[in-house]
Amino acid sequence: MDNNTSKRLGLFDNITGDLPAAVVVFFVAIPLCLGIALASGAPLFAGLIAGIVGGIVVGAVSGSHVGVSGPAAGLTAIVLTAITDLGAFDLFLTCVVIGGALQVAFGLLRAGVIGYFFPSSVIKGMLTGIGLIIILKQIPHFFGYDADPEGDDAFLQPDGENTFSEIFNLIDYTDDGATTIAFIALGILILWEAVLKNKGKIFTIIPGPLVAVAVGIIWEVTMGDGSLGIASEHLVSVPVPESFDDFIGQFTFPDFSAITMPAVWLTGFTIALVASLETLLCVEATDKLDPRRRVTPTNRELLAQGTGNILSGLIGGLPVTQVIVRSSANIQSGGRTKLSAILHGVLLLVSVILVPNILNLIPLSVLAAILLLVGYKLAKPSTFMGMYRAGWRQFVPFIVTVVAIVFTDLLIGISLGLAVGVIVILYSSYQNSHFLHMRNEEGEREHVEITLAEEVTFFNKGAIRSQFDKIPDDAMLTLDVRKTQFLDYDVVEIMNDFVTTFKNRNIDVEVITEEGTVNNPENYFDVLKMQHAGSAH
């Protein structure tokens, strides 16, 4: 956790961390934007537009401090099918604009509360599953086998293979130059992270991935056509316009004559629904990864994503959502305010205008090395052990979500994990009625009392979080749990997270139990977590 959690960060208060994080996210975003566009059957420049809009526009409007938005792999099948069925990319762009407008409507209708109803075990399963997917999908790219587009996260791939058969096939297609520089880059990244980062401030300011990419470019320029040179198909491939007019010509505009077509509205609604769901899931996940445990306003996030999709569609870009790969890379690299997301979008814009030729010297295998470390940090073995120790009620939905994501895709995996989570909760709960009561007392300091019901499950998570958000700064909060017989792990975790938030807002917390008043809520909630783990085994 950050050393100074009591201070609220302004936009420029963490620039020494946000700037290096923006550089790392920029390098991660380039191949993902291009690969998702390729897999979607869209122009490559459309993916870059979505990345730029997701960074600059959504980053500025969003209330998320650490989330990063851009084109999402989960929408590739929808985009590919829509472009094929409609027969023209400009018709599809009309769908993107409609989808964005519907997302704005979702935000105004306060539909963001849906995201609060996903159990933490499923969200953690999503993070771990994405981590494993990153590792498995990047192994072929690491060794110079690039048949599957970057950004693909589905088990069944566009090249006719699946995640595991692709790994087996790379034995026949390994590229010596790409593999060699990938190992060099991985060594640099590990050395930077484990040793040099603690040796001096310069190694904190200059991100290891930037050094690894620079070494990769030098390798490509030096080796050229030699035995350890890297062929163009194993390098980043950003469109290179020959003139300013050619650059402007890459923008495509929607054909609004299709606005009356039912198929266009159906596709627009599908984009809005899927993009909103992916965003809300990622918001829940990034809030858990945020060291400061800040809570993203979900309705504002839908408004931000809708605004981004309207603009992206108007200038020829793919649909955008908040995306976990770039968001987790941002957090792991020290990003703590939305400045890092905005700067990564600025870097994308400047680079595709001024230095596309230099970007095209970056080996994909070097970027794969960067992503491998991102994946490992999301799917550490300690995560599996921690969830196992939390008890079977947490572990079963967690592992189902992980396995389902690896063998299907993100949305199906989340859906299966949620279904299992609901079954586990229903099995372990007596379905007693529950309520939340809030009482304010007039005085020098506002006093808020919340009485929890006899049984509180993760279904109450949204209501509890909403009540906590409404507590005014500098207040006194009393949590009465004397009648509570069952306090679900998810609710305990939310309360634990809010202890840090309350400190930032100068809110004092006391817990009233049958044994008396608890004035140290952090220890109390830690004990409850241990009791959950002990009773489950």
Residue 432 has pLDDT above 50, yes or no: no
Residue 437 has a pLDDT of: 56
Q: Is 433 helix (H, G, I), strand (E, B) or coil?
A: coil
Between 420 and 159, where is the model more confident?
A: 420
Give residue 65's pLDDT band: very low, low, confident or very high (50, 70, 90).
very high
CA 312/CA 42 separation, integer angstroms? 13
Residue 105 has pLDDT above 80, yes or no: yes
Residue 199 has pLDDT above 60, yes or no: yes
What phi and psi, each to the nearest 5 degrees, are found at residue 364?
-65, -30
Residue 149 has pLDDT above 70, yes or no: yes
Annotate 42-110 with three-state secondary structure: CCHHHHHHHHHHHHHHHHHHCCCCCCCEEECHHHHHHHHHHHHHHCCHHHHHHHHHHHHHHHHHHHHCC
- In contact, 157 and 444? CB cutoff 8 Å: no
Question: Token pair of 304, please?
Answer: 């931000």
Residue 441 has a pLDDT of: 56
The pLDDT of 70-77, averaged and rounded, is 92
What is the distance between the terminal CA atoms of the chain, rounded to a whole angstrom? 30
Question: Token pair of 91, please?
Answer: 């018709």
Residue 57 has pLDDT above 70, yes or no: yes
Q: Where in the chain is the domain with CATH 3.30.750.24?
A: 436-536
Q: Is 160 helix (H, G, I), strand (E, B) or coil?
A: coil
- CA proximity to 39, closest of 152, 134, 136, 139: 152
Q: How many CA atoms lie within 13 A of 123 on its CB side?
A: 21
| Alpha-carbon separation of residue 373 from 13, 185, 235, 245, 370 (angstroms) | 27, 11, 20, 40, 6
Residue 431 has pLDDT above 50, yes or no: no
The pLDDT of 505-530, averaged and rounded, is 82
The pLDDT of 355-362, averaged and rounded, is 95
Q: Is 145 helix (H, G, I), strand (E, B) or coil?
A: coil
CA 66/CA 257 separation, integer angstroms? 38
Q: What is the mean pLDDT of the chain?
A: 89
> What is this structure's pTM?
0.84
Architecture of domain 436-536: 2-Layer Sandwich (3.30)
